[in-house]
């Protein structure tokens, strides 16, 4: 064992500490990192599947309405009416400044009519961390 030349307040050398501290739960950190990585990858895969499901439903809405009607017992005609009254295609895409601005306009309108007690800043509510994945073409 190496003995330090100078007197130190640390009772063991770095090498001794590294060699002896691996006992116990040293494997826990890589296991936690692996689980977190799998969760993030699962979220990315889920977002891509959701994006492709939206793309499919836009092109096959009658089949989608029938399937949704079978699950929810809402008449197909009502689902088709909702589809025809929408402002745009169903999609899952990156957050744009126009979307945030539109949301802020809604919050400002609610403030003017007295629904909100004070001004609300909605920009921090939007998560832009998945933008790179959402820019990829639907699988």
> How far apart (Å, rounded) are the C-alpha atoms in residues 83 and 66?
12
Phi, psi of 102 (to 5 degrees): -65, -40
pTM exceeds cut of 0.75: no
Mean per-residue pLDDT, 77-93: 82
Q: How many CB atoms lie within 10 A of CB 105?
A: 11
Separation in Å, CA 98 to CA 102, 113, 128, 131: 6, 23, 14, 15
Most confidently modeled range among 23-27, 98-102, 107-111: 107-111
Handedness of CA 37, 41, 123, 97 (dihedral sign): positive
Residues 91/52, Cβ–Cβ less than 8 Å: no
pLDDT band at 54 (very low <50, low <70, confident <90, very high): confident
pLDDT number for residue 23: 62
């Amino acid at each position: 064992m190496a003995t330090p030349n100078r007197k130190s307040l640390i009772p063991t050398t770095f090498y001794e500490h590294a060699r002896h501290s691996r006992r116990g739960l040293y494997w826990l950190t890589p296991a936690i990192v692996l689980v977190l990585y799998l969760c993030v990858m699962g979220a990315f895969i889920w977002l891509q599947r959701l994006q492709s499901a939206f793309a499919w439903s836009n092109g096959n809405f009658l089949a989608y309405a029938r399937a949704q009607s079978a699950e929810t017992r809402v008449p197909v005609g009502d689902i088709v009416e909702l589809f025809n009254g929408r402002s745009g295609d169903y999609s899952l895409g990156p957050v744009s400044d126009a979307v945030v601005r539109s949301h802020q306009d809604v919050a400002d309108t609610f403030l003017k009519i007295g629904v909100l007690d004070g001004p609300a800043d909605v920009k921090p509510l939007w998560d832009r961390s998945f933008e790179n994945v959402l820019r990829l073409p639907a699988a």
